[in-house]
Every structure is written in C-alpha cells, then in structure tokens.
Amino acid sequence: GQQLNQSPQSMFIQEGEDVSMNCTSSSIFNTWLWYKQDPGEGPVLLIALYKAGELTSNGRLTAQFGITRKDSFLNISASIPSDVGIYFCAGYENNDMRFGAGTRLTVKP
C-alpha cells in the first residue's frame, strides 16, 4: 500500500546532538507508531500513540501524534552512538498498517 512520507531520509549527526524526524500522510490514522531497526535485526517498537495531540516520552525519545491525525514526529535528545539505525514511522487504522520509508541515523562519536 501507499507508504507514509517520512523525512529526512538520512541524518548524520554528532554524538550529543538532538534529532528530529517526522511523518505525514494524506489519510488519518487512529494510531501512530515509531519503530527502530538496528543493523541486521528486526524493527522494535519504540513508542505507540493512540490519541490526537498525545505527547509521549520513552527515555530520551519523545513522540507526538499530530492534532490532524495525519502526522507524527519523533525527537531524540542527546544522541549516543547506539542510537544508530533506521527509524520507521507507522500509521494504523482499521487493520490497515502503513510504514514510512525510514530515516537512517548515523551518530558520529
């Protein structure tokens, strides 16, 4: 199915910097999710958002469910080398799951 629009496609940052990535869609979703894929591994769920406007944190990660239900962002504060990987957003509505193309994050020590 149609992928979500996720940006940026890739990021190269210095350790300690903050990171922001976002996802937009032409359709509304009742759930937004963010996954991280480490090299050679399967994606792992980081944060799930269930309500428009919801802001949720998980350690150094903060994600928000856009008020229009058509977008979401993920922030990572004070990045560390193990934050390296691909971050995928996903929208879910009535058994329809759509993934973004991913943001590839590289963190330089």
Applying CB under 8 A, which of residues 28, 45, 78, 80 lies at the interface with another protein? 45
Q: Which is nearer to another protein, 12 or 41 (CB)?
A: 41
Radius of gyration (C-alpha) of the chain in whole angstroms: 13
The size of the interface with another protein (CB under 8 A), counted in residues, is 23
Do the beta carbons of residue 18 and residue 79 sit within 8 Å? yes
Residues 54-83 that bind another protein (CB under 8 A): none
**Cα 84 to Cα 66: distance, rounded to the nearest angstrom:** 25
Applying CB under 8 A, which of residues 5, 20, 52, 92 lies at the interface with another protein? 92
Amino acid at 74: L
Our separate counts of H helices and E strands in the chain read 0, 11
Q: Applying CB under 8 A, which residues contact another protein? A: 1, 3, 31, 33, 35, 41-45, 48, 50, 88, 90, 92, 95-97, 99-102, 104
